Amino acid sequence: MPVRINPSILAADFVNLEHDLQRISSADLVHVDVMDNHFVPNLTFGPQMVGRIQDVSPIPLDVHLMISDVDRWAPGYAELGAYSVTFHVEAATDPVAVARRLRQIGARAGIAVKPGTPIEPYLDLLPEFDQVLVMTVEPGFGGQSFMPETMPKLTALRDAVNRQGLGVWLQVDGGVSLDTIGIAADAGANTFVAGSSVYTGGDPTDNIAALRAEAARHTH
C-alpha cells in the first residue's frame, strides 16, 4: 500500500509561499488549510489565494476546508482545479450531495471528522468518497499534540474499506511527526498531513523522506 506525505503550508512562511512550495516538491500533495474564522477560530485564506497557490505549486493541491456552509462553497475549490477537496461533515447538510458535485467537477472528494465526531454513520457511505480525514487534533491550529484516542476510528475505517474492497485513502492531520506517524500507519492510515514536522527544524526534503520511511516501515 503506497504512503502519501502531504505537507501543510499552514506551517510555511505566508509571505514567501512560492519559495516554501518549491521546498516540498518531493511530497505527494500540498495540504492547503482553508479556515473561515467561523467553523474554526482561525482565519487563513479563500479561493483567490488557493487559485494562486494552484498556479505556482509544483505538486497538486489537497484542499482541507475548515469552513461553514460547505454545500455552498466547496464546489468552487474543485473548479479551481484542486486535486482533492475535503470538507467537514459537521459543516455539511448533505455530505453525499457535496461529494457527488465535487467528483462531477473532477476533484477527488473527501470528508473530514473532528476528534469528537463518530465515524460509524459514514461507514456505509464510503463508496461516495475518495478520502476520509480523521483529525488527530482539534482543527484550527498547527503545532498541537497528536490525539491517539482518535485511532479506533481509523481502525474501523480500515476494516470497512478493506471489507468493501474500496481504495478510499485514509488521512490523518494534526501532530503528525516521526514519533506519531507510525501509530497512525499501524491503525490503517496511508495519507499523512504534516505541517510543523516538515517545515520546522531541518530541511523539508529530508523531513519528508524521514516521515515517508517511518510510515512505510509501519505499513504492510
Active-site amino acid positions:
33, 173
448533505: which residue's cell? 94
Q: Which of 10, 70, 99, 134 binds ligand DX5 (CB under 6 A)?
A: 10
Q: Candidates 47-55, 72-80, 135-143, 178-186 — which segment interacts with ligand DX5 by CB under 6 A?
A: 135-143
| Burial classification of residue 56, based on how many CB atoms lie within 10 Å of its CB (0-12 exposed, 13-18 middle, 19 or more buried) | exposed
Instruction: Scan residues 172-191 and list those touching ligand DX5 (CB under 6 A).
Output: 173-176
Q: x-or-dash pattern for Zn ion, window 118-147, by CB under 5 A?
A: ------------------------------
Side-chain-facing half-sphere of 141: CA atoms under 13 Å: 5
CA 218/CA 201 separation, integer angstroms: 23
Q: How far apart are CA 60 and CA 26, in angstroms?
A: 12
Nearest to 106 by CA among 137, 70, 61: 61
Instruction: Report the C-alpha gap between 92 and 67 in whole angstroms.
Output: 10
Q: Which is nearer to ligand DX5, 140 or 188 (CB)?
A: 140
Give yes or no for residue 64 binding Zn ion (CB under 5 A). Answer: yes
Among 33, 36, 62, 130, binds Zn ion (CB under 5 A): 33
Binding residues for Zn ion, rule: CB under 5 A, are 33, 64, 173
Binding residues for ligand DX5, rule: CB under 6 A, are 8, 10-11, 31, 33, 64, 137, 139-144, 173-176, 193-197
